[in-house]
Amino acid sequence: MSELFLVFDYGKNDKNLNMNDPSWKQEAVKDVTALIPSTVSIKDSKVISTSPMYGVGVLCELSDGSAYVIFIYGENKEAAVYCVFANGYDGSFDNTTTNTQ
């Protein structure tokens, strides 16, 4: 993992993590799109894990071979954690709390 950015409120735990809600992926894609250059696109996105403490983890694989994992948290579906994988996703968040595969 090349970079990890944390923005987190430890005072709240989101226990209502409906992984089938498409808004988790939509929010992650929106956030990643704002961070990447216009020459790079998102090839695929999927929910990879959930946790009452960290939120819903969404993997966004990019056209340049890199990837982001964004943990979306709370009722407002805000990005709580940004993880950048310069050489592609290595599976480090698979099975973190609840495996979705």
In a domain, 24, yes or no: no
> pLDDT tens for residues 24-46?
999 999 999 999 999 999 999 99
Q: What's the mean pLDDT in 3-27? A: 63
Distance CA 9, CA 63 (A): 32
Residue 83 inside a domain? The answer is: yes
Cβ atoms of residues 73 and 54 within 8 Å: yes
Provide the number of structural domains found in the chain. Answer: 1
Q: Give the separation between CA 56 and CA 68, rounded to whole angstroms.
A: 13
Look at residue 67 and tell me if it is in a domain. yes
pLDDT grade for 88, boundaries at 50, 70 and 90: very high
Residue 21 domain-assigned?
no
Q: 5: domain range? A: 1-12+42-93
> Is 79 domain-assigned?
yes
In-domain check, residue 100? no
Q: Has residue 14 got a pLDDT over 90?
A: no
In the 3-class helix/strand/coil scheme, how is 43-72 assigned residue by residue? EEEEEEEEECCCEEEEEEEECCCCEEEEEE
Is 19 within a domain? Answer: no
Q: Which pLDDT band holds residue 95 (cuts at 50, 70, 90)?
A: low
The label of the residue with tokens 């599976």 reads 91
Please, which pLDDT band fits residue 11 given cuts at 50, 70 and 90?
very low
Residue 26 lies in a domain: no
| Residue-wise pLDDT tens digits, 55-87 | 899 999 999 999 999 999 888 889 989 999 999
